[in-house]
Structure 1
Amino acid sequence: MKRYVARGAVAAALAGAALVGCGEQQESASRNPSPAAGSTSGTSTAGTSPAPGRIAVTKDGRVGAPGTVCVMPVSFEPAPDWKPKPVPRLAADSPLASWTKHGPFDLACEIDAKPAGHLGYLRAWVQNSSTGTPRAALESFVGADRTASRATYRETKAGSLPAAEVVYETYSKLLDESKQEHALAVVTPRGTLVLHLGGLDTQEHQDMLPAYELAKRSMRLAS
């Protein structure tokens, strides 16, 4: 019963949220808000967001390329009805700034699953560095979450790009249980990107996995 009460509370809060969150609180009521459209991430890969009324993806349905609402080192295809939004650039002294950072990574874009009927986000995190390996990037990303455990890494491909992937668990205080997470990393000439899929709980996460897999297999360098 507690699980369903918590799910209902989070769903209600998500509908009126106004700012983004990260870490364990990514899927909770106070840290799962939506940023204003038209903002940039504040990273070296960020570009000018489209003017109001312009589409958030390219004509072929991709997000991440120059001219889209989220400019990233890579582009990929979002799942139907998932809505990409940029993350607002926050001043370093803002009390909310830490919510858009995860270890050395800055949150550049979140793709909201609510319009598709799920409670969760596919989030793109970027780092300026173009050195190191995808595995090392993932280890840094997972290590920044003190609740992370049971991490399993493997080498893989994101489209044709060399990548690393991790499946792990984090602990949710909201639900008083562990939940599954997926993330992959690629290192590009324009920086390192980690694509992360969370979710309110493990069931919600598994329901959203097809969207993560679509982004993974359709990924390519942004042009």
Structure 2
Amino acid sequence: MRRPIRPLVPALLAAGTLLTGCGGPEPLPEVAPGPRPTAKPVAAASLGGPGTACALPVSFSLAKAWEPEAVEDPEDPDFAELTRRGPATVRCEVDAKPAGHVGFLRVWTAGKGPARAALEGFVKAEKGGSGASYRETTAGALPAVEVTYTVRSALLDEDKEERAFAVAVPAGTVIVHLAGMDTGEHRAMLPAYELARTSLKAL
């Protein structure tokens, strides 16, 4: 049976995925939110609506060459370590490798309730995460909350930035999370993340 969620890449490049082990016990410094990327990627397709790769309670634009794939059997308890994080269950992952980056944009869903509570639970459940900085923002025309934090990569033995936003829609809370192999990859992929955030619509 195929794993329901892929690591960033096999072996050496698998750092920072849901399979990553715990980081060191020392607390990491708080991450200061960086400036928004100014480069705008080309929107190649929409994700989340009827006929798209993933059935989601929201839709948003994908950057050119990013490849989406629905997660198989996300509710399967045998894969809970991979498909669950705090209150959220992963539904879709968008692979950045065809666009020349090592990382994923993943979409998670949680039950109804405040978006910030779901996002805080999501971040607290990530192994090796620390230094979370939350802020109010928007996702499309909807109010949202965003977090920037660091995760200790056991494989690379370094800290790396990660970012996510959450929005409450009628079906529940949606969390869109960006994870790359390292901070350099993360920052290079921010324009695609911003495209998803600014184009998001509730379905």
TM-score when scaled to structure 1? Answer: 0.72
List aligned pairs for 1:26-175, cutoff 5 A: 26-27=7-8, 29=10, 61-89=45-73, 92-94=76-78, 96-127=79-110, 129-131=111-113, 133-175=114-156
Instruction: Considering fraction of residues, name the structure with more strand.
Output: 2
- Larger relative contact order, structure 1 or 2 (CA cutoff 8 Å, min sep 6): 2
- Counterpart of 1:174, as a letter, is L
- Residue 178 (structure 1) aligns with: 159
Q: Percent identity among equivalent residues?
A: 47
- Map residues 196-215 of structure 1 onto 2, 5 A cutoff: 196-215=177-196
In 2, Cα distance between equivalents of 1:189 and 1:92: 24
Secondary structure in structure 1 of the residue aligned to 2:46:
coil
Which digits, 9 at most, give the CA deviation of each residue in 1:26-63, with x for residues without a partner?
A: 53636669xxxxxxxxxxxxxxxxxxxxxxxxxx8211
Deviation at 1:195, TM superposition (A): 0.2
Retained in 2: the 8 A contact 1:184–1:194? yes
Query: Structure 1 pair 156/115, CA: closer, same or farther in 2 (3 Å)?
Result: same
1:28 and 1:174 in contact (8 A); partners too? no
* Structure 2 residue ranges without an equivalent (≥5): 19-43
CA contact (8 A) 1:119 1:204 kept: yes
Q: Distance in 2 between matches of 1:67 and 1:146?
A: 35
The answer to whether the 8 A contact 1:124-1:193 is kept is yes
- TM-score, reference length from structure 2: 0.79
- SS for the counterpart of 1:138 is helix
SS state at 1:145 partner: coil
Whole-Å Cα distance in 2 between the matches of residues 90 and 189 of structure 1?
21
Give the counterpart letter for 1:157 in structure 2.
T
SS of 1:67's partner is coil
Q: Deviation per CA, 1:133-163, whole angstroms, max 9, x where unpaired?
A: 2221211110111311111100000000110
What is the alpha-carbon root mean square deviation over aligned residues? 2.1
Moved over 4 A (4+): 30-33
Q: For 2:120, what is the secondary structure of its paired residue?
A: helix
